[in-house]
A and B are shown apart, each in its own frame.
Chain A
Amino acid sequence: MDGVAQLQKQLVDFTDSLFQEGFLDEQFNQLQQLQDESNPDFVVEVVSLFFEDSERLLNELAKALEQKTIDFRKVDAHVHQFKGSSSSIGAQRVQKVCIAFRNYCEEQNIEGVKPWHRCLKCLQQVKLEYSLVKNKLETLFKIEKQLIAAGGSIPT
């Protein structure tokens, strides 16, 4: 197998694994379909914006949970927005932990459970899933770059 074919196979296999492992869903396919000759870097650009917005949201969330009196409405709003933006690019596992996070935050009256403690655990989960998908996508883009540099084209 020559270099280009090998890289193409690597790309296809890696992309398939991201879907199989639930990191990405159908919405990511929609995103890829929006890339064309007039928008050749669309996917990387949109995902980069997603990374920027996500990091800002995660910082805001961490700050909100550090307050003496936690404003759960604010926490909820941030998580809500994160669920929205992660769903827009197909980051499925991030979406799922956002949904779980919201559910926990809503259960503020459970006896014996400190909501902020649960929220902190949820935040850890969200941070973890976000860093996982970020890593995966950065790897994906790296392989694509190598493929193009080798003279190949991204299989559709």
Chain B
Amino acid sequence: MASDTDYDSDGMRGNGDGGLSEGNGRRRKHPFMTWRNNLRALVVDNARTCRIMESGLLDAYGVEVEAVGTGEAAVELIASGETFDLIVLEMFLPFMSGPETARTIREMGISCKILGIAPMYCEKDAQEFLAAGIDEFLEKPFTPELFIPFLMEIDNQK
């Protein structure tokens, strides 16, 4: 059910939305939380408002974030050797879908936590996405309440 009206799905990192922080290396000076380890996250979402909020919130909570707009860009980034502790992956991506992206990432041997996200919760979508290799299926918005427990788990296990 990918939307073929793509908003910022050109796969470029950041897309340069007038200086808005989309992570991509920039770190907030005074994060709301600090961690024992350096935590890195990859946000994969073609909807730019969502992507900016997801990146911005993770950054605010002390995570180093990279953000891309397509599954292809995510796979390329990982293939280039970039490693992440957490991947936040939208289900309805325009070309390579969320589930296809998850499957590809898992086939590459990546075992980090993948949180699948979608605008609305649907049992069928959740089953499909989980079967593709994500660890949890979450309904947007992607809030600190939702992600902090996962960050804590990841930080404790590192």
Choose one: B1, B3, B21, B143; the contact of A39 (CB below 8 Å): B21
Question: Given A34-B60, A53-B49, A77-B3: A99 and B120 within 8 A (CB)?
Answer: yes
Q: Report if B47 contacts A (CB, 8 A).
A: yes
Q: Which residues of A contact B56 (CB under 8 A)?
A: 34, 42, 46
Contact call B21/A80, Cβ cutoff below 8 A: no
Question: Given A27-B141, A80-B92: A85 and B3 within 8 A (CB)?
Answer: no
**Contact size class for A?**
20 to 34
**Distance, CA A36 to CA B144, complexed state (A):** 18
Q: Report if A87 contacts B (CB, 8 A).
A: yes
Question: Given A42-B20, A80-B120: A88 and B60 within 8 A (CB)?
Answer: no
Using a CB-CB cutoff of 8 Å, which residues 1-37 of chain B contact chain A?
A: 1-5, 7, 17-21, 28-30, 32
Q: Which residues of A contact B17 (CB under 8 A)?
A: 45, 49
Chain A proximity of B16: nearest CB distance (Å): 12
Choose one: B52, B60, B92, B119; the contact of A49 (CB below 8 Å): B52
**Distance, CA A26 to CA B50, complexed state (A):** 15
Chain A interface secondary structure, helix, strand, loop or mixed? Answer: helix
Q: Report if B103 contacts A (CB, 8 A).
A: no
Contact call B119/A87, Cβ cutoff below 8 A: yes
**Distance, CA A96 to CA B57, complexed state (A):** 23
Choose one: B28, B60, B92; the contact of A81 (CB below 8 Å): B92
Q: Which residues of A contact B18 (CB under 8 A)?
A: 45
Chain A proximity of B6: nearest CB distance (Å): 10
**Distance, CA A143 to CA B20, complexed state (A):** 23
Of A39, A73, A90, the most chain B CB neighbours within 10 A belong to A39
Q: Which residues of A contact B48 (CB under 8 A)?
A: 49, 53
Q: Report if A60 contacts B (CB, 8 A).
A: yes
Smallest Cβ-Cβ distance to A77: which chain B residue:
B3
Question: Given A78-B3, A80-B3, A80-B120: A85 and B50 within 8 A (CB)?
Answer: yes
User: Contact residues of B with A, CB < 8 Å?
Assistant: 1-5, 7, 17-21, 28-30, 32, 47-50, 52-54, 56-57, 60, 92, 118-120, 140-144
A-B complex: 10 closest residue pairs judged by Cβ atoms: A84-B119, A77-B3, A88-B50, A88-B53, A87-B141, A85-B49, A83-B119, A34-B56, A50-B49, A27-B141
